[in-house]
Amino acid sequence: MTSITGKYTPQQLALDEMFNDINPALSARQAGIESSRCYYCFDAPCIKACPSKINIPSFIASIASDDLSGAALTIYEENILGGSCARVCPTEILCEQACVRNLEDEADPVKIGQLQRHATDNASFVGHPFKRDQLSGKRIAVVGAGPAGLSCAHRLAKMGHDVEIFESQSKAGGLNEYGIAKYKITENFAQQEVDFILSIGGIKLHTQTALGRDIQLSELKSQFDAVFLAIGLQEAKPLMLENEQHPQVHDAIDFISELRQAQDINQLNIPKHSAIVIGAGNTAIDMACQLKRLGTEEVTLVYRRGVEHMSATEHEQQIAKNHQVQIKTWSRPTSINVDDSGQLKSLSFVKTKAVEGQLQDSEIHYDIACEAVYKAVGQSMSFPKLQDTIPTLSNGKISTFKNQLTSIDGVFAGGDCTHIGQDLTVEAVQQGKLAAHAIHQYLNPLQEH
């Protein structure tokens, strides 16, 4: 895939300059040197640590031989969204943490993520790299065009099935398009990747088509041979505080989506002096760092437990520190305060502590002045109001059984809407791929697999 260039307005240029790539691509020379550091382990621990099971030594060896298309093909065989995963995957706690180079004196793993990006960004194929198998005559509905849905659709199309994707948003891509920090997936890359995936053929995309509003599960079951649900998580969890509906109290994921789609910086309502982000995950880090890049002078990220409990990795926490984001831990928000004119003025917090593993409030209270608040305390699934039955849910997510089958025959599920994995993009891709194989077996029960 190659970059798409075009004419930009001064405002667009300003946004691009603010959100330049946080991990610049390797040059050909850098990639050559880095690939030579790999030991090409026979029983490679990096493969075992990769959720999508990419043959990492093999693709790195191809880079060392200057065969970038071969390297990319090895990646795409297991992860068709290898380009975006190379940008957002927490390699520091997965493949790179497992790299045997960590055991040597320099404790410096091979830069697997950046090498994967180098391969997928610079590969050149005539047409799509995969050919479809003999057409099966089977039709599968995929609900949701995020990483899990796209991965499942592509693998099913490769197996010879016809697929229709139903996406509620105006663009495909899911979190890659709407929910990832603008400095991680830059410019138009998410849509380039979608176009690349769909170019295999056999996949029809319906946008602005929501389950429960425009289509019903019973309709899909009657019209298709199988259904894959990859509807993600739609709603931000509330703080349950008074004044939470104040116009300057936002859901972080909504602001990130607005920022990613903005054509003009003037479209955005950006706090000038101070903002507070509540949360401890990657979304909270993304939100805080983007505010700093947009010019907010003071951004404070507040979490009710300690740094060691944050779901954001140490790497992500360091990114926040590099952006001069203040991180306050062991603090729970207790009230959202407005002044006599109704303007947001501050948040009140109580210091917390852990007592025998349980979080308890202390006697210490304090306020932080702010112009805006961004909630990033997690998301929940709001299952669409269907006119018919829905799959069994557990703790607000879809329950899956063997081979990602739900409680409804012929209906499978994967990605963030299930309890499988840790809500990582690369895990969603893997679940989509595995679900495709499960659906193929469901449709062909007499075949050996």
User: Alpha-carbon distance 415 to 400, whole Å?
Assistant: 11
Q: Binning pLDDT at 50, 70 and 90, where does residue 5 land?
A: very low
- Average pLDDT value for residue range 190-201: 98
Q: Binning pLDDT at 50, 70 and 90, where does residue 7 land?
A: very low
- Average pLDDT value for residue range 210-235: 94
Q: For the sheet with 331-338, list strands across it.
A: 331-338, 344-355, 358-369
Beta strand pairing status for 344-355 and 358-369?
Answer: antiparallel
- Domains recognised in the chain with CATH numbers: 10-122 (1.10.1060.10), 139-234+381-443 (3.50.50.60), 236-379 (3.50.50.60)
402-438 confidence digits (pLDDT tens): 899 999 999 999 999 998 888 899 999 999 999 999 9
Please state, for a pLDDT cut of 90, what percent of the chain lies above it.
85
The rounded mean pLDDT for the chain is: 93
Q: Binning pLDDT at 50, 70 and 90, where does residue 386 land?
A: low
User: Alpha-carbon distance 379 to 254, whole Å?
Assistant: 11
User: Alpha-carbon distance 74 to 69, whole Å?
Assistant: 9
Is the pLDDT at 142 greater than 90? The verdict is yes
